[in-house]
Amino acid sequence: MDYRKLGPSGAVVTAYCLGTMTFGKESDEAASFKMLDDYFAWGGNFIDTADVYSAGASEEIIGRWLKARPTEAKQAVIATKGRFPMGDGPNDVGLSRRHLNQALNDSLRRLDVEHIDLYQMHAWDALTPIEETLRFLDDAVRAGKIGYYGFSNYVGWHIAKASEIAKAQGYTRPVTLQPQYNLLMRDIELEIVDACQDAGMGLLPWSPLGGGWLTGKYKRNEMPTGATRLGENPNRGGEAYAARNAQARTWDIIGAVEEIARAHGVSMAQVALSWVAARPAVTSVILGARTSEQLADNLDAAKLVLSEEETAKLNEISAPTPGQYPYGVHGTNQRHRRIEGSR
């Protein structure tokens, strides 16, 4: 089993985390319990949820499972998030002390626990001073309500500012960032990964399969249908089929993943997951499955080790394509310095 430290902390988690966004919506309670059972039987110990997942139902399902499985509950590392609206009032959203205090207490109640291992800020809040948020989180650690905290969907300057203020004020410092990260979406490498490494934070990638694109379920110029996220909503968010289908890069990446999968006799999903898990600073990859069958296939990625040549091929074909400044070749050459004669 591949265990890794939760960022710079002393807590240890498995390299693959069970994401539970489907619980209570796409997966009923029986199916959710089955996935939790299968995940822990495999050896996993890390569960990720959020208060807004199925309007709190995901946390409630996990809470009932923890109560019914005391042995597994002792081993479980629980992560949840707060920030988005859980009510209609003006203070039912954001990263203010007012909202986070209510959100954290509600998550503790739904999960039926006295302590949450990792509490994550689900997105930046431009209206709340970062000092207010960090002070609340430090207080929550000192009160024993949470063990650690992290961020999700933050950009580079958010991470740098929060980390440095926490350090300067003597507050508990953040340990993780949960960003979207996959072969189709590598833009976090332009600055966010560097910011996390500078702050000593680990990455918890979400959507490692690119919303299903990297599993091979979608075909070029064939509008998706059926029980898939894009089949149910082809214009879903940034994954809109038409936009991604129109990019030659999309199909070049999918083709490379398919070729490597065929050579190993494994699924395309396993290739894509193995690549993400091996990226710098990655602590644990979040698996968001609808069924036990999907989860089982995803977990088999732990058995796959890509060769240097395969990794290099995927790196090259999926490389982000920024403009010339400040992230292109010109900007990169300005920011990086090497000792003459070094390799």
Active-site annotation holder among 3, 16, 39, 53? 53
- Residue 258 counted as domain residue: no
Of 185, 208, 183, 181, nearest to 287 (Cα)? Answer: 208
User: Where in the sequence is the domain holding 283, given as residue range(s)?
Assistant: 3-212+268-304
Convert 297-312 to b/e letters by CB count within 10 Å (16 or more is b): bbbbbbebebeeebbe
53 annotated active-site: yes
- Residue 44 counted as domain residue: yes
Q: How many domains is the chain partitioned into structurally?
A: 1
**Mean pLDDT, residues 320-326:** 81
- Residue 297 counted as domain residue: yes
Q: Name the β-bridge partners of 280.
A: none
Backbone angles phi, psi at 232, to 5 degrees: -80, -25
Number of Cβ within 10 Å of residue 250's Cβ equals 20
Give the CATH number for residue 54.
3.20.20.100
- Residue 248 counted as domain residue: no
* Residue-level pLDDT at 231: 53
**Mean pLDDT, residues 169-176:** 98
**Res. 74: pLDDT tops 70:** yes
* Residue-level pLDDT at 156: 96
- Residue 29 counted as domain residue: yes
- Residue 155 counted as domain residue: yes
Rounded CA-CA distance 140/101 in Å is 9
* Residue-level pLDDT at 324: 73
- Residue 342 counted as domain residue: no
**Mean pLDDT, residues 253-259:** 98
- Residue 15 counted as domain residue: yes
* Residue-level pLDDT at 241: 73
Of 221, 341, 339, 215, nearest to 288 (Cα)? Answer: 215
Q: What percent of the chain has pLDDT over 70?
A: 91
197-228: pLDDT as tens digits: 999 999 999 999 999 999 998 887 776 665 55
pLDDT band with cut points at 50, 70 and 90 for residue 329: confident
Helix (H, G, I), strand (E, B) or coil at 199: helix
**Mean pLDDT, residues 259-282:** 98
**Mean pLDDT, residues 148-163:** 97
Helix (H, G, I), strand (E, B) or coil at 319: coil
* Residue-level pLDDT at 106: 98
Q: What percent of the chain has pLDDT over 90?
A: 83
Question: What's the pTM?
Answer: 0.92
* Residue-level pLDDT at 218: 86
The per-residue pLDDT of the chain, averaged, comes to 92
91-142: pLDDT as tens digits: 999 999 999 999 999 999 999 999 999 999 999 999 999 999 999 999 999 9
Which CA distances in Å does 2 have to 42, 260, 285, 303?
12, 22, 12, 10
